Amino acid sequence: MKHFLTEQQVDSFRLNGFLVVEDVLTDDEVAILAARTDLIASGKATHVPNTSIQLEPVFRTGERQIENQVMSVRKLYTLAVHDDVMWSFATHIKIVDIVADLLETDHIKMYTDQLFMKSPETGSEQPWHQDSASWLDLFPMDLVSAWIAIDEATTENGCLNFAVGTHRWGMMNKQQIQTQVPQLGQEPWPIVPVPLKPGSISFHHSLVLHRSGANVSKQRRRGYAVHYMRATTIKDESVKGAPKLPPFRQVRGHSFSGCV
């Protein structure tokens, strides 16, 4: 039994490595999420540590002076473990129902969350990558990310692009990805840009190759990404270089001994 998705939608995700679901959040919910985003980015949410705020490279290096703190931020991360409003979106019943259908389990934990700001002019690109490349200590490598559009995401302001089916290639290092990039955009690995309306969500597999371009428009492109895993996922403590994160929080169902 599926909570939200059809079998065809789940099959599409398994084949392509991503799935778009329109109008998951209401306009009012998007407005709440947007306001909380800017509050945290401003540095005025004192319950969220400053270590959760990362500026765009041009501001970190001093190439450009900060005139507006919010518009200078590149990324916010590990928010939901500190902020109840962000946690309410990470555990939103519609979102978690979709994730449960894609992971085929009701025992789910949040790995972490990130909020990408992508301001006009200074919002930098993100090259082709796999999320699991940063999460090398988690097995199996089949986490699901929910990327929630706060603003309209367009090709001009840096919407996500997915390389269809590349989650089936398995884990690759940076050099291996670079050797495969020339194949992307050709059959059978088309590149699909995914523009989104506010409140719509793209869900993607942690091994699918994806990227986003720089923001060359005058419009913001904020997107909140929450990364989910089965509660039966194993964390290999011997793996070096994996992110140091707060304890994983239960989103739904039960925890299991020896697992995350």
The pLDDT tens digits of the residues spanning 159-176 come to 999 999 999 999 999 999
Strand partners, 203: 19, 146
End-to-end CA distance of the chain: 25
Q: Letter for the amino acid at 39?
A: L
Could you tell me the pTM of the whole model? 0.97
- Find the angle CA(227)-CA(228)-CA(231) to the nearest 5 degrees: 150
Share of the chain above pLDDT 70, in %: 100
> Beta-carbon neighbour count of residue 181 at 10 Å?
13
User: Is residue 189 scored above 90 in pLDDT?
Assistant: yes
Residue range 45-85, pLDDT digits in tens? 999 999 999 999 999 999 999 999 999 999 999 999 999 99
Instruction: Identify the CA nearest to 53 among candidates 66, 68, 69.
Output: 69
* Three-class secondary structure of residue 98 per DSSP: helix
The band of 1, judged by pLDDT with boundaries at 50, 70 and 90, is: confident
> Beta-carbon neighbour count of residue 255 at 10 Å?
12
Share of the chain above pLDDT 90, in %: 98
Put the strands of the sheet holding 126-129 in their side by side order: 126-129, 210-212, 160-163, 191-194
- Summarize the confidence of residues 209-235 as an average pLDDT: 98
**Token representation of residue 195:** 């523009």
Residue range 106-163, pLDDT digits in tens? 999 999 999 999 999 999 999 999 999 999 999 999 999 999 999 999 999 999 999 9
> Beta-carbon neighbour count of residue 46 at 10 Å?
7
**Token representation of residue 156:** 């001009």
Which residues lie below 8 Å from residue 189, measured CB to CB, with a gap of 6+? 163, 164, 165, 166, 183
